[in-house]
């Protein structure tokens, strides 16, 4: 098996959002998205995004049993089940995660938690290896208010926890503001370290003008206690509201 979507609902929600961010991000080939490199079809890419759009608006409510209805809970579980069945390895499945294992790179495998058949299947030592090059954090924009966006940064192996992985000192977040994603990773600017997996980014507003939609594009990576920097994870983005 290439990967298993988490059984618990909230980790599964983070997983689906993270993989969707990844599949829609630019590859190292200009004009080519990551889902295209994985040999996904447009239909497969759209299906994953469709289910992500069902669950993401309910992410905050689902973590609080007092603010989500039974119908909304069932809606989330149905979307997760749909992705499981659609991505499966049986005769009717599309083998989406297997395609990531076959055609992805180290960063893809880390974010999608794919180990079997990749270098990530090798066990690392306990506490002696920073392994920042072997994993990238999960990054999501979970709240988008006027002039303010709330980001969650999570460990790919424990997406429901706010703790940093062992050997990691900081989860560093970088941002680019524009009408289109940046063409070069050097265009991102450091905006802060996530505290307990959270980072609030604010915007003054005076720097934006006109009627065009302006977006904030984010990436994140870990810094180890030895000062080593890991790979950037998948991009997350949201329109800036004013």
The pLDDT of residue 129 is 42
Long-range Cβ contact pairs of 164-167 (< 8 A, separation 24 or more) = 164/222, 165/135, 165/222, 166/126, 166/127, 167/127, 167/129, 167/130, 167/131, 167/132, 167/224, 167/225
Quote the tokens at residue 107. Answer: 């960063």
The reported pLDDT for the residue numbered 121 is 52
The confidence score (pLDDT) of residue 200 equals 96
Q: What is the pLDDT of residue 148?
A: 92
Model pLDDT, residue 124: 42
Q: At what angle do helices 70-86 and 42-55 cross, to 10 degrees?
A: 160
What pLDDT is attached to residue 161? 86
Q: Within a 13 Å sphere around the CA of 228, how many CA atoms are in the beta-carbon half?
A: 14
Q: Which residues of the chain have pLDDT under 50?
A: 1-3, 117, 122-133
The pLDDT assigned to 25 comes to 87
pTM assigned to the model: 0.57
What whole-number distance in Å separates Cα of residue 239 and Cα of residue 217? Answer: 9
Cα 108-112-118 angle, rounded to 5 deg: 65
């Amino acid at each position: 098996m290439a990967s298993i979507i988490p059984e618990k609902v909230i980790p599964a929600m983070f997983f689906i959002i993270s993989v969707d961010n990844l599949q829609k991000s630019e590859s190292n080939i200009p004009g080519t998205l990551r889902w295209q490199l994985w040999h996904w079809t447009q239909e497969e890419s759209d299906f994953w995004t469709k289910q992500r759009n069902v669950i993401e608006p309910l992410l905050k409510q689902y973590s609080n049993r007092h603010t989500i209805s039974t119908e909304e809970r069932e809606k989330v579980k149905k979307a997760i089940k749909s992705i499981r069945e659609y991505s499966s390895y049986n005769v009717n499945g599309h083998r989406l995660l297997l395609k990531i294992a076959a055609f992805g790179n180290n960063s893809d495998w880390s974010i999608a938690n794919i180990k079997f058949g990749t270098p990530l299947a090798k066990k690392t030592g306990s506490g002696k290896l920073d392994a920042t090059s072997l994993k990238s954090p999960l990054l999501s924009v979970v709240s988008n208010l006027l002039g303010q966006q709330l980001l969650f940064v999570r460990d790919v192996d424990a997406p429901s926890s706010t703790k940093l992985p062992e050997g990691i000192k900081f989860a560093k977040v970088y941002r680019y503001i524009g009408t289109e994603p940046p063409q070069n990773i050097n265009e991102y600017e450091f905006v802060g370290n996530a505290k307990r997996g959270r980072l609030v980014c604010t915007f003054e507003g005076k720097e934006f003008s006109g009627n065009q939609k302006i977006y904030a594009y984010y990436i994140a990576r870990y810094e180890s206690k030895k000062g080593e920097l890991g790979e950037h994870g998948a991009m997350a983005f949201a329109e800036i509201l004013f």
